[in-house]
Amino acid sequence: MFASLRRRLPVVAAAAALLGTLLTVGGPSTADAAVPSTIPLKLTNNSGRGEAVHVYVLGTSLTTGQQGWADASGAFHPWPAGGNPPIPAPDASIPGPGAGQSKTIRIPKLSGRIYFSYGQKLVFKLATGGLVQPAVQNPSDPNRNILFNWSEYTLNDSGLWLNSTQVDMFSAPYAVGVQRADGSVASTGRLKSGGYSGVFAALRAQPGGWGNLVQTRSDGTVLRALSPAYGLETGALPANVLDDYVNRVWQKYATTTLTVTPFADQPGTRYYGRVSGGVMNFTNSSGAVVTSFTKPDAASVFGCHRLLDAPNDAVRGPISRTLCAGFNRSTLLTNTNQPDTSSAGFYQDAVTNHYARIIHARMVDGKAYAFAFDDVGHHESLVHDGNPLQAYLTLDPLS
């Protein structure tokens, strides 16, 4: 009935862990060391909606490793013990700004999520394994009929990573931003005018069941579009939705070599993939097989897991990330050198991740987190700064 926090690590946490390591090789800078224990988060409500907004700052403390929540002052509160069945969590909601207004709270050093909901508070519960979060792909989830969304963030000694995410669903729109030490502001996640309703319209117009991803409330309110990974789980999309493309890829690389250069700063590190006996084997420059992949199904592609599992290592994980991006963006047939980082060639095949295609096309800057490894080639909606003065989360119009 519920999804646990352990079900999926926030995208930004994984990106932050990697990027933070890369940025701090040789030790943290003076700016890194100066990151305070909390920073201000300015919430602005430009939604045009009159309902009350409820905000939640939830995550894992980077100093203690405890799961918990933060209040408006940025003070961290560990969750109490959970139960089986799950028990109600303490009310961690923070009153958000009214329509046309702004409110500033503080966020602590966490890796977690900033939820916001319209009209109703979200239902969180505690299981013996930790926090249970909304799982709206399940019709019986108590949050199913609430209009809500979340951002993901990591704040640590190396700075702030803050993103807008559509990995699980596309819903109430918002933009994120960070003010740098020099006073400049970087932002991302904003939809083009008409982009919010345009996403739902485009999904409904796309043949093959993509319109079934859209969820509405009994009063007609459009609540969200599920990600295709959840579309497969719920039966909204057919299980064979990507089979044609995957089969063509496997056929091509039975006679052609796929070259993967997973690290932009290490052009000499390359792996070479060929399909033999139904398995894509990758070799290094010495010809030794370093990892192999069975032909993935749609669930593995859309979720970037299972048959495309990406462990946090130096070989299989980076290759899998690259394959996942290539499958979702349908670039594996048009470019034998991956990753293909030029968005001009993305989503051009008739068989592709139309959910990701439609969302990216309606973003002002073209950036989104529409699948787990949308950061391959830096096409994700993420802001980062090593010495942030302030973070921003702006609720945008649902139009």
The residues assigned a catalytic role are 152, 168
Q: What CA–CA distance (Å, rounded) separates 271 from 12?
A: 26
One-letter amino acid for residue 132 of the chain: V
Q: What CA–CA distance (Å, rounded) separates 110 from 43?
A: 18
Query: Helix, strand or coil for residue 286?
Result: coil
List CB contacts of 356: < 8 A, sequence separation 6 or more: 328, 329, 347, 368, 370, 371, 374
| Segment holding 79, helix H or strand E | none
List CB contacts of 124: < 8 A, sequence separation 6 or more: 56, 58, 88, 89, 92, 131, 132, 133, 134
4-24 exposure pattern, b = at least 16 Cβ within 10 A, e = fewer: bbeebebbbbbbbbebbeeeb
Q: What CA–CA distance (Å, rounded) separates 232 from 243?
A: 13
* Strands of the sheet with 337-338, listed across from one edge: 289-294, 279-283, 271-276, 258-260, 337-338
Q: What CA–CA distance (Å, rounded) separates 118 from 137?
A: 19
Cβ–Cβ under 8 Å, residues 242 and 327: yes
Structure tokens given for 44: 């602005």
Q: What CA–CA distance (Å, rounded) separates 136 from 150?
A: 13
Q: In whole angstroms, how large is the CA radius of gyration of the chain?
A: 21
List CB contacts of 211: < 8 A, sequence separation 6 or more: 203, 204, 205
Q: What CA–CA distance (Å, rounded) separates 250 from 31?
A: 48
Cβ–Cβ under 8 Å, residues 283 and 253: no
